[in-house]
Amino acid sequence: MKEINNKLLAIYYCIYAVFVVGIVCAHIFNYSFPKLYGTERLVAEYIELGLMLVLIPVAIGVYNSKMKKQVDLAYYFKWNLFQMLMIAFTGIVAIVVYALIPLNGRLDVTEDLNPTMFQSLKNLFPMLIIFIALIFCKPTKYKIQHYFS
Q: How far apart are the first and last CA of the chain?
A: 14
**If we measure between CA atoms, which residue out of 146, 105, 130, 124 comes closest to residue 23?**
124
**If we measure between CA atoms, which residue out of 81, 100, 84, 139 comes closest to residue 22?**
100
Count of beta carbons in the 10 Å neighbourhood of residue 13:
11
Range from 23-27, 36-40, 121-125, 136-140 carrying the lowest mean pLDDT? 121-125
Range from 2-11, 44-53, 98-107, 129-138 carrying the lowest mean pLDDT? 98-107
Give Cβ neighbours of residue 51 (< 8 Å, ≥ 6 apart). 89, 90, 93
Q: Tell me how far the alpha carbon of residue 72 is from its chain's centroid.
A: 28
The predicted-structure confidence for 13-49, as pLDDT tens digits, reads as follows: 999 999 999 988 887 877 777 877 778 888 888 999 9
The predicted-structure confidence for 53-111, as pLDDT tens digits, reads as follows: 999 999 999 998 988 887 788 888 999 999 999 999 999 999 988 888 876 555 554 44
**If we measure between CA atoms, which residue out of 144, 123, 131, 38 comes closest to residue 90?**
131
**pTM greater than 0.75:** yes
Q: Which residue has the higher pLDDT, 8 or 148?
A: 8
